[in-house]
Structures are given as C-alpha cells and as structure tokens.
Amino acid sequence: SSLYHNPIPDQPGGGTVDWTNPWGEYKYIDDIELREDGGTPGFLQAIRTALCIELKNQMGTPNIHLREKQLVKKAFELFRPIPHLHILADEFEDRLGIFSFYIDHVHYNLVVKLLNDLAGIQVRGGCTCAGTYGHYLLNVSYEQSKRITEKINQGDFSEKPGWVRLSLHPTMTDKELETIAATTYEIATHIQNYQDQYIYNPRKNEFRHRSEPVDKTVLVKDWFSL
C-alpha cells in the first residue's frame, strides 16, 4: 500500500466497485488488491471455461437449449406461487436459465446463507457490477441512492439493495429444482424461525450463524494442518 496510490484500477471491471448509479457516479473499492482484481488474468477461470466447453460439446447445444427451456418453464411454475417472493423482470419468460429474485422483508444475503445452511444450495446474493440496472429494477430514486451510497462510503452496506441470483444448469434434475423451490418457500414463509440464529455484519454485508466463529480463517487453517 505504501508503493501504490492509484485510485482508479488499471482495468476497471466487475467486482472493482462498491456501487454505481444511473447518473454516472461510482465508487471504487478501497482495498487495493480487490480494486485491481478486475484486471488480473483469470488463469483458473480459463481452465474451468475450457472444461465447460468440453462438457458443452459432449452434451450438444440442441440438448442444452431444450433442457434449459424445460427448467425455465418449471422454475416459473415453482417460484411464482411462493408468498412474498418477486422474480425480477418476471414478464420475460423467454430467458436464459438465470433467475434473480428477492423476498419481502428478508435480506437477500440472509436468503443466500439460509439456502446454503438448510440444503447446501449455492446461489449468489447482492448487486455488484449491475448497480445501475439495479436502480431501474428496484425503482431506486436519486435521493434514495444518495442516502445509500453515503452510508456505503462510511463502510455501512446495510441498506445496499440487491437480490438472490439462481442459475439453472442443464444437468440439474427436476428433483433438485423442486428442492431449491421448497427450501426457498420455507424461508419465505417461516423466516421468523431462522433469522434470530444469525448475526449481520454491516461492514461486510454478510450473515453468519451464531455457532460460527467470527474469523473463519482458523477453520481453514485447521483443514490443512498436519
């Protein structure tokens, strides 16, 4: 940090900002390593991409497309009836296998954490490089945006808007999708049974179970200790 003082990353990209808005304003992440990560060659990502392309070729594009359409149709049928749940851009049914949603009065990252803890389901929560589009989707006014971004600038992410993003993979079974929907339904209808078991960190915008240590690096070190 004593050698590096550039406030703008060498290659600005996804994951290098705390927030953006439709009025041309933004704030880059304070942490130097994270701020420059958008310009770092993704070697592991390139290897994973190659493996994905190999799998895609084995499966066949027509089969993938057909299965994706089946999963999208089923996802709409399963998620639309869930109380308090809103699918973003719900009117567009002809879409890729990506569903973004939020549940009234439940923080999106708590939904992410509960899906993981209750059923081992991996989804993504928040809004990083889609902040400007997020203003449109969630009807965030300029005044609301200024209040939120001022808090973020002070290290408080508690009011930062976001959603839960679920990706449907063509290898996913109907049963797996039904499990995801059932767990989401449980969260939406019985959140009062779970929310007090979790502690929120406004600086990280994350939830942890009360039984989890604050510093998880201790657990990771134990995994690799001899």
The tens digit of pLDDT for each residue in 131-167 reads 888 898 888 999 999 999 999 999 999 999 999 999 9
**Cβ contact 52:71 at 8 Å:** no
C-alpha 144, offset from chain centre: 22
Tell me the average pLDDT of the chain: 90
Q: Do residues 29 and 58 touch, judged by C-beta distance below 8 A? A: no
Return d(Cα 42, Cα 193) in angstroms, integer.
Answer: 41
Phi and psi at residue 163, in whole multiples of 5°? -155, 175
What is the band of 207 on the pLDDT scale with cuts at 50, 70, 90?
very high
CA distance 155 to 164: 22
Angular region, 89: left φ>0, alpha ψ -120 to 50, beta rest = left
DSSP letter for 123, please. -
**Using CA atoms, how far apart are residues 179 and 155, in angstroms rounded to an integer?**
36
Give the pLDDT band (50/70/90) at residue 2: low
Of 185 and 128, the one with more pLDDT = 185
What are the pLDDT digits (tens) for 22-74? Answer: 898 888 888 887 887 776 666 677 888 999 999 999 999 999 999 999 999 99
Name the residue with higher pLDDT: 220 or 183.
183
The amino acid sitting at 156 is D
What pLDDT digit, counting tens, does each position of 161-205 carry? Answer: 999 999 999 999 999 999 999 999 999 999 999 999 999 999 999
Quick: pLDDT tens for 68-95. Answer: 999 999 999 999 999 999 999 999 999 9
Provide DSSP, 35-56: HHGGGS--HHHHHHHHHHHHHH
Q: Is the pTM of this model over 0.85?
A: no
For each of the domains in the chain, give its residue range(s) and CATH number, in order of start: 75-127+162-224 (3.90.1150.10)
